[in-house]
Structure 1
Amino acid sequence: MKLIYAIIRNDNEDDVIQALMQEHFVVTRLSTTGGFLKKGNTTLMIAVEDSDVDRCIDVIKAQCGRRQEITVNMPYLSGSSIMNYTTMPMNVEIGGATIMVVPLERFEKY
């Protein structure tokens, strides 16, 4: 067995989970926060048989398309005033998923 960790944007969460459940995958959802944009993410944990890994990843990929978004990333300045700090909008690629597959030694469901 394998454990798939899929880190996705909150925007894609409902579509991904619904698609996975339609394919009879059991999904555990965790709320997480990304480091670069400081935006909310969802981390999905999915236990699958080895033969189902590629099918599960294909379902995730189909729901997590990449797209461009303009954002202003405010700096974190501890104890400092940011009144004189100028920010520039930046174009970032969002969407997609970060997927990790790790061996699962034991899986029990009661």
Structure 2
Amino acid sequence: MKLVVAIVQDQDSQALMKVLNKHNVRATKLSSTGGFLRTGNTTFLIGTEDNRVLEVLRLIEKTGKQREKEIPPISPLGGSTEDFLPGYRALVGGATVFVLPIEQFHRF
């Protein structure tokens, strides 16, 4: 048995949950916040049999889309307008996924 931990952007979370449910994959959904852009994320905890891990990974990959986001200029604390850090475009979205071995599983 494996634990798949998938971190996706909030805007992709409903689509992923819908696809997981359609394929009879149980998941626990947790709200989380990303450190880089400080935007809302959703973390999915998915317990699955070893032989379904690739299927689950494909469902996550199919649902989470990468996109570009405009990052506005940032003013340092107490800085003048000349000290602004310039804006830029960042690649966001997709999914960060960890697959962990599970020693025991219990459902009470």
**Distance between the aligned counterparts of 1:50 and 1:83, measured in 2?**
56
> How does 1:60-75 map onto structure 2 within 5 Å?
60-72=60-72, 74=74
1:23 positional shift? 0.5
Does the CA contact (< 8 Å) of 2:2 and 2:48 recur in 1?
Answer: yes
Give the 4+ runs in structure 1 shifted more than 6 A: none
How many pairs were matched up? 107
1:72 positional shift? 1.9
- Give, as a single letter, the amino acid of the residue that structure 2 aligns with 1:68: E
1:81 positional shift? 2.6
1:20 positional shift? 0.5
Does the CA contact (< 8 Å) of 1:67 and 1:94 recur in 2?
Answer: yes
Secondary structure class of the residue paired with 2:57: helix
Partner of 2:27: 27
Structure 2: state its 5+ residue gaps.
none
Normalising to structure 2: TM-score of the pair?
0.90
Secondary structure class of the residue paired with 1:61: helix
Normalising to structure 1: TM-score of the pair?
0.88
